[in-house]
């Protein structure tokens, strides 16, 4: 069964399709969006080796000529250099503004290809075909595109909505267990930030989701996308409620920056640790009950995800360095740090006036060096 979630942005709205077999249906679903029968598929070499032949066959069967633009896998590709390379390849293919790019991969490819689409000849359409759990439930939906810089994650980017998202659950069978857990961090985030009933469901069914049980996986992905679609439709440019989706990200992005945006700490792992830390910070400030913070941490730990500083690096973090990264975060304003904090499970809010010294002292209590 294919589930359809609509992202309601009026004329720029689009469907997110969730289910099995969508890769083989991609040609028939993408061809009607094309003005001429050609597309550039931006993918990484690992995803293309696993699934590229099926996607190409589907597109070609629908009369669509395919030009692969392949990049190396890994977060390091989401850079100025990676962006320049993709844009140059698109120019060499002589794509025009009536053509369309397909982003075929995880969050790195989706962010990179989406940003290239946003700026190529001042904007070209694109379709997302996310191949990781994290990308299916989060980064492929909502139009956020960006690259990383040495000064921070996702600091250079644009809002550019896709025309269509195809989330084929079958491709998740080739993910490593670690990548599944990293994606699950974003799933549990939705329960923590605004749906206590979903959080309770995940406590009971999380192991089935991670084991790729078809029914459990379909429900987890669909509910996550429903929540994100609802929030994006209300607040596309993150002026209000959409900021809640950053639960765990202010702490998490700082951890990623300190570990070099590499395999040492995947984005989902950073979000998991950041979410647990955000709940404990909320409890330390008297905002939520300690038992709620403990329950959030337990649910994250039960999925095999990190919950604190000591679990994500082989050497201690420095509190001052982490706070400096947080000050560079795009959400920081006027020397104050911005966090998504909790009043309870499923009840979060945006705090824009958090004192950096308060955070520094808390991080030292968490085990960071002064």
Q: Catalytic residue positions?
A: 122, 144, 186, 228, 238, 242, 246, 249, 253, 267
3-class state of residue 52 by DSSP: helix
Q: 15 phi and psi, to 5 degrees?
A: -100, 145
Provide the 8-state DSSP code for 135.
I
Task: Give one DSSP letter per residue of 144-192, joined into a string.
Answer: EEEEEETTEEEEEEEE---SEEEEEGGGGGGS-HHHHHHHHHHHHHHHH
Alpha-carbon dihedral sign for residues 85, 256, 278, 273: positive
Provide the 8-state DSSP code for 44.
E
Structure tokens at 262: 């590499």
Measured CA to CA, the distance from residue 287 to residue 290 in angstroms comes to 9
Which of 117-146 are b and which e, b meaning 16 or more Cβ less than 10 Å from the residue's Cβ?
Answer: bbebeeebbbbbbbbbbbbbbbbbbbbbbb
Q: 125 phi and psi, to 5 degrees?
A: -70, 155
3-class state of residue 61 by DSSP: helix
């Amino acid at each position: 069964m294919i589930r359809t979630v609509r992202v309601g942005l009026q004329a720029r709205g689009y469907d997110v399709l969730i289910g099995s077999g969508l890769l083989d249906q991609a040609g028939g679903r993408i061809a009607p969006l094309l003005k001429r029968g050609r597309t550039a598929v931006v993918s990484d070499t690992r995803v293309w080796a696993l699934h590229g032949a099926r996607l190409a066959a589907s597109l070609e069967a629908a009369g669509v000529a395919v030009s692969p633009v392949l990049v190396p896998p890994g977060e390091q590709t989401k850079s100025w250099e990676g962006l320049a390379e993709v844009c140059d390849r698109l120019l060499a293919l002589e794509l025009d503004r009536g053509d369309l790019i397909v982003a075929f991969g995880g969050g790195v490819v989706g962010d990179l290809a989406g940003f290239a689409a946003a700026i190529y000849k001042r904007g070209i359409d694109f379709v997302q075909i996310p191949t990781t759990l994290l990308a299916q439930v989060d980064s492929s939906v909502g139009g956020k595109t960006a690259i990383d810089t040495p000064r921070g994650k996702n600091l250079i980017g644009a809002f550019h909505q896709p025309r269509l998202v195809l989330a084929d659950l079958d491709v998740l069978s080739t993910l490593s267990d670690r990548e599944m857990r990293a994606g699950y961090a974003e799933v549990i985030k939705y329960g923590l930030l605004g749906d206590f009933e979903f959080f309770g469901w995940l406590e009971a069914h999380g192991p089935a989701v991670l084991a790729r049980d078809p029914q459990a996986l379909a429900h987890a992905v669909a509910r996550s996308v429903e929540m994100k679609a609802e929030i994006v439709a209300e607040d596309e440019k993150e002026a209000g409620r959409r900021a809640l989706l950053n639960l765990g990200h202010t702490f998490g992005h700082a951890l990623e920056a300190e570990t070099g945006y590499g395999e040492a700490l995947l984005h989902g792992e950073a979000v998991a640790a950041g979410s647990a830390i955000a709940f404990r910070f909320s409890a330390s400030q008297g905002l939520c009950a300690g038992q709620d913070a403990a329950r959030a941490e337990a649910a994250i730990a039960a999925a095999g995800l990190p919950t604190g500083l000591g679990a994500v690096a082989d050497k201690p973090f420095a509190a001052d360095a982490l706070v400096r990264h947080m000050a560079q975060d795009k959400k920081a304003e006027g020397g104050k740090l911005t966090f998504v904090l909790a009043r309870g499970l499923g009840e979060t809010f945006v705090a824009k006036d958090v004192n950096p010294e308060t955070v520094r002292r808390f991080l030292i209590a968490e085990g960071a060096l002064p």
